Chains A and B, each alone.
Chain A
Amino acid sequence: MTLPILKLPFLVFQMILESMGFIELFIFTRLSNKMKRIVKSRVKVKNFKMRVFFEENFGLRISNENHMEMFVVDVLEKYKPEDDGFPLKLGNADGIISGFYFSEDCEDLFVTFWNDLMAGFREFIDEAMEIFPCPIESITIDNVGQHCEELVRWASSLTIERVSLTGGEFGVRHLQAFNVSSIKLYDASLSDQDIHDFFDALSNGRSNTNMKECQILFVRDDFNLDFIMRGLNVVWEENEDLVWPDNQTIEIYHLTLSNGETGTIKHSIIEVEIPNGPDREYLTFDVEIVRREVNQ
Chain B
Amino acid sequence: MSVENAPVVDVDEAAIPVEKKMYYRFESNDKKEFRVSELAIQQSETLNRLVEAMGYTSEDVENKPAIAIENIDGKTLKLVFQWCEHHKGEAIPVDDGSVPKIVEIPEFDAKLMDIDNGLLFKLIWAADYLNIVQLLNVSCKKVANMAQGKTPAQLRRVYLLPSDEEDEAAKRAAQEAQDPRAREVEEEFEERKRQGGNSFF
Interface residues of A (CB under 8 A from B): 1-9, 11-12, 15-22, 24-25, 27-28, 30-35, 43-48, 64, 66-67, 86, 88, 100
Of B55-63, B117-125, B175-183, the one contacting chain A is: B117-125
Besides A17-B144, A86-B152, 10 new A-B residue pairs in contact (Cβ under 8 A), listed by A number: A12-B124, A15-B140, A19-B140, A20-B144, A24-B144, A27-B151, A31-B161, A34-B162, A43-B100, A47-B98
Q: Do B99 and A18 touch across chains, with their CB atoms under 8 A apart?
A: yes
With A3-B121, A12-B128, A86-B153 already in contact, the answer to whether A64 and B98 are too (CB < 8 A) is yes
Q: Do A8 and B156 touch across chains, with their CB atoms under 8 A apart?
A: no
Taking each of A16, A24, A31, A46, which has the highest tally of chain B beta carbons within 10 Å of its own beta carbon?
A16
Q: Which of B98, B117, B143, B149 contacts A48 (CB 8 A)?
A: B98
Q: Which residue of A lies closest to B159 (CB)?
A: A5
Q: Do A4 and B159 touch across chains, with their CB atoms under 8 A apart?
A: yes
Q: Which residue of B lies closest to A25 (CB)?
A: B100
Q: How many residues of B are counted as interface, with CB atoms below 8 angstroms from the partner's CB atoms?
A: 41
Is B198 interfacial (CB-CB < 8 Å)? no
Q: Do A3 and B99 touch across chains, with their CB atoms under 8 A apart?
A: no
Min CB distance, B172 to chain A, in Å? 14
Is B102 interfacial (CB-CB < 8 Å)? yes
Q: Do A19 and B144 touch across chains, with their CB atoms under 8 A apart?
A: yes
Min CB distance, B92 to chain A, in Å? 16
Q: Do B99 and A46 touch across chains, with their CB atoms under 8 A apart?
A: yes
Is B157 interfacial (CB-CB < 8 Å)? yes
Q: Do A18 and B101 touch across chains, with their CB atoms under 8 A apart?
A: yes
Q: Do A3 and B158 touch across chains, with their CB atoms under 8 A apart?
A: yes
With A12-B124, A20-B147 already in contact, the answer to whether A6 and B98 are too (CB < 8 A) is no
Expressed in whole angstroms, the Cα–Cα distance for A86 and B128 within the complex equals 35
- Please encode chain B, from 108 to 140, with 1 for each CB lying within 8 Å of some chain A CB and 0 for all others: 000000001110110011001000000011001
Q: Do A67 and B152 touch across chains, with their CB atoms under 8 A apart?
A: no
Number of CB contacts from chain A to chain B under 8 A: 120
With A1-B116, A3-B146, A46-B98 already in contact, the answer to whether A86 and B140 are too (CB < 8 A) is no
Q: Which of B100, B125, B137 contacts A67 (CB 8 A)?
A: B100
B100 CB contacts on chain A under 8 angstroms: 18-22, 25, 43, 45, 48, 67
Q: Do A27 and B152 touch across chains, with their CB atoms under 8 A apart?
A: yes
Q: List 27 A-B contacts (CB under 8 A).
A: A1-B118, A2-B160, A3-B120, A7-B121, A15-B101, A15-B137, A15-B140, A20-B147, A21-B100, A21-B144, A21-B148, A24-B144, A27-B150, A28-B147, A30-B152, A31-B155, A32-B161, A32-B164, A33-B164, A34-B164, A35-B161, A47-B99, A48-B100, A66-B98, A86-B152, A86-B153, A88-B152
Expressed in whole angstroms, the Cα–Cα distance for A230 and B22 within the complex equals 85
Q: Do A1 and B117 touch across chains, with their CB atoms under 8 A apart?
A: yes
Q: Which residue of B lies closest to A108 (CB)?
A: B148
B147 CB contacts on chain A under 8 angstroms: 20, 24, 27-28
Expressed in whole angstroms, the Cα–Cα distance for A45 and B125 within the complex equals 25
Q: Do B164 and A16 touch across chains, with their CB atoms under 8 A apart?
A: no
Expressed in whole angstroms, the Cα–Cα distance for A27 and B154 within the complex equals 11
Taking each of B136, B143, B148, B157, which has the highest tally of chain A beta carbons within 10 Å of its own beta carbon?
B143
Is B163 interfacial (CB-CB < 8 Å)? yes
B153 CB contacts on chain A under 8 angstroms: 86
A48 CB contacts on chain B under 8 angstroms: 98-100
Min CB distance, A68 to chain B, in Å? 11
A25 CB contacts on chain B under 8 angstroms: 100
Q: Do A3 and B159 touch across chains, with their CB atoms under 8 A apart?
A: yes
B102 CB contacts on chain A under 8 angstroms: 66-67
Expressed in whole angstroms, the Cα–Cα distance for A66 and B141 within the complex equals 16
Expressed in whole angstroms, the Cα–Cα distance for A46 and B101 within the complex equals 9
B196 CB contacts on chain A under 8 angstroms: none
Expressed in whole angstroms, the Cα–Cα distance for A2 and B157 within the complex equals 7
Q: Do A8 and B144 touch across chains, with their CB atoms under 8 A apart?
A: no
Expressed in whole angstroms, the Cα–Cα distance for A24 and B147 within the complex equals 6
B101 CB contacts on chain A under 8 angstroms: 15, 18-19
B155 CB contacts on chain A under 8 angstroms: 27-28, 31
Is B6 interfacial (CB-CB < 8 Å)? no
Q: Which residue of B lies closest to A89 (CB)?
A: B152
A-B residue pairs, 9 tightest by C-beta? A19-B144, A24-B147, A3-B117, A86-B151, A4-B160, A47-B98, A20-B144, A1-B117, A15-B140
